[in-house]
Amino acid sequence: MTTTLDLNFVRQQFPAFSEASLDGQAFFENAGGSYMCRQVIDRFTTIFHQRKLQPYYAFKASADLGMEMDQAHERMARYLNVGADEVMFGPSTSQNTYVLAQALLARMTAGDGIIVSGQEHEANAGVWRRLEASGMRVLIWEVNADTGELDLDDLTQLLDDRITMVAMTHCSNLVADINPVREIADIVHAANAILLVDGVSYCPHGLPDVDALGADIYLFSSYKTYGPHQGVMVVRKSATSVLEPQSHYFNRDVPSKWMIPAGPDHVQIAAMNGMLDYFDALDKHHGGSDDAMRPRRLESLFHMAERSNLKMLLDYLSNRNDLRLLGPNDPTRRAPTVSFVSSRLSSQEIGRQLADRKIMAGVGDFYAVRLLETMGISPEDGAVRLSFVHYTSPDEINQAIAALDDIL
C-alpha cells in the first residue's frame, strides 16, 4: 500500500482535466461542486441508454435498475460504516434538512429545544431556527467572532434536559476547521439529545466512519464528492424515536424511503455507484485490497495529498499582513477550503482579477451569511474562497499563489 497519491492516475479519472475549453484554468471552487469522475459519467450514459425507466419490476431493464439502486445503498453504507437501511438519498442536503425539520417538529412539544451552531451553511440553520415559530426553543451555539471557531464549553452551557437535538457542521464551508465530532457526540448523548452533523464540506476529503463519529444523523452532498447531484442522508437507529416518518403512509416501513417524501431520483441514485467505483479503483491502484479498511485508507490518502498543498497556500496567505485568513493556519486542523478578505481590495475585485488569470475561485457569502456577519465581514462583498481537493496539483497551487501575488 503506497501512501503517496498518484496524481496522474487521479486526473485521468476526471474528463474535465482533458477538456479543451478548460485548458490552463485552475479549478478552485470545489467546495461549490467538484468535477465529476468518469465512472459516474459512464454510469449515467449506460443507464440513460439502457434502463431509463421505472425500477423494481420483473422485466430485465427494470430489475437491473432496481438492483443498481440497492447496490448504491449497500455500498454507500459500507463506506460510511452504517447499516444499508440507515442510508437515504434525497435531492440535496438543503431539502434533506427541510424534511428532517418537519419530521422532528412532529415529535416535539412546545418548550422542547434545539441547539444550532453559528458556523453553519444556511441549509443547516434556517430550517431549525424556523421551529421557533412553532413554539420550540432555538438556542444558538455562537462562534468566536475573531476565529469563527466553536468552543465545546459553550455547548455544555446550553444543553438542558429538554434539548432534543444539536445541529452542527463537521467542517464549515468558510472557516473550514474540523470539529471534534466524536467528543461533541459524547457530550450531546450524555444530555440525552441527538447530534445532527452536516458533512458536506468534510466528505470531499474522504468519506468518514459515521459509526465512529457517533453522529445520529449525518448529511452530505454527492455532487461535491465527484458524484451525481444528490443529498446523502444517514439516519441512525438512535434517531428514529424523535423523527416522524415523512414518506407516503404505505412506505413508512421501507427503510430507504421513510425520510423521503418525494419519489427517489432513480438515475442519480444508481449513478452514485460510479463514485464508489472511482474510490474502489483509486484504492486498488494504490495497493489496497477489498476490505473494511478501504474508506480509512482513502481518507488518509486524500488528507496526505491535500495537506502539503494546503500548507503552501496557508503559508503564503498568513505571511501577508493585508489579509485576514478565516479559520486556522494549521493544515492538520482544517479542510483545504481557504477563505480570506483583504484590507485593501474588495473580495469581488479579487475574484474578477483571479478569473482574468485563469483561477476559477468563488467569491461571496457561500450561504454562510450569519457566520460572516458574526465575524464582522460584509456578506455583500463576502470573502474570496480557494477550495481544492485531492486532484489539485502543486502546479495549480503555485499558479494561484502567483496570481494572488500579482493582484495583491
Q: Which residues bind ligand PLP (CB under 6 A)?
A: 92-94, 121, 123-124, 169, 173, 198, 200-201, 221, 231
Pick 283 or 365: Cβ nearer ligand PLP = 365
Q: Which is nearer to ligand PLP, 123 or 404 (CB)?
A: 123
Measured between alpha carbons, how far apart are the two ends of the chain, in Å? 42
CB 337, min distance to ligand PLP, A: 9
Question: Of 228 and 328, which has the nearer Cβ to ligand PLP?
Answer: 228
**Where in 282-358 does DSSP place strands (E)?**
323-325, 337-342
- Tell me the C-alpha to C-alpha distance, in Å, between residue 85 and each of 106, 234, 245, 268, 408: 22, 9, 14, 18, 51
Q: Least Å distance between CB 124 and ligand PLP?
A: 6
Which residue lies nearer to ligand PLP by CB, 117 or 124?
124
Q: Which of 5, 326 has the CB closer to ligand PLP?
A: 326
Query: Do 20 and 376 contact (CB within 8 A), yes or no?
Result: no
Strand order in the sheet with 231-235: 87-90, 231-235, 217-221, 194-198, 163-169, 113-117, 137-141
- Residue 94 or residue 399: which is nearer to ligand PLP going by CB? 94
Q: Smallest gap, in angstroms, from Cβ of residue 325 to ligand PLP?
A: 19
Residue 366 near residue 29, CB atoms below 8 Å: no
The nearer residue to ligand PLP, 121 or 286, going by C-beta atoms, is 121
> Smallest distance from the beta carbon of 261 to ligand PLP, in angstroms?
16
Q: How far apart are CA 299 and CA 387, in angstroms?
A: 17
Q: Report, in Å, the least distance between residue 239 CB and ligand PLP.
A: 18
Q: How far is the CB of 181 from ligand PLP (least distance, A)?
A: 14
Rounded to a whole number of angstroms, the minimum distance from the CB of residue 92 to ligand PLP is 3
**Distance in angstroms (rounded) separating the CA atoms of residues 250 and 91:** 21
Q: Which is nearer to ligand PLP, 55 or 382 (CB)?
A: 382
Place of cell 475561485: 361
The CA distances from residue 391 to 12, 154, 181, 354, 396, in Å, are 10, 37, 26, 20, 10
Q: Is 55 or 118 the residue whose CB approaches ligand PLP more closely?
A: 118
CB closer to ligand PLP, 230 vs 399: 230
121 vs 294, which CB is nearer to ligand PLP? Answer: 121
Q: 172-199: b or e for each residue (b if 16 or more CB lie within 10 Å)?
A: bbbbbbbbebeebbebbeebebbbbbbb
Give the nearest distance from C-beta 370 to ligand PLP in angstroms.
13
Identify which of 230, 235, 262, 233 has the alpha carbon closest to the alpha carbon of residue 246. 262
In whole angstroms, the minimum distance from the beta carbon of 205 to ligand PLP comes to 13
Mode of pairing for the β-strands spanning 163-169 and 194-198: parallel
Chain Cα centroid distance, residue 238: 22
Crossing angle for the helix pair 347-356 and 394-407, to the nearest 10 degrees: 120
* Min dist. Cβ of residue 228 to ligand PLP (A): 11
Cα–Cα dist 139/125, whole Å = 11
CB neighbour burial string for 218-240, b if at least 16 within 10 angstroms, e if fewer: bbbbbbbbbbbebbbbbbbeebb
Query: Least Å distance between CB 223 and ligand PLP?
Result: 7
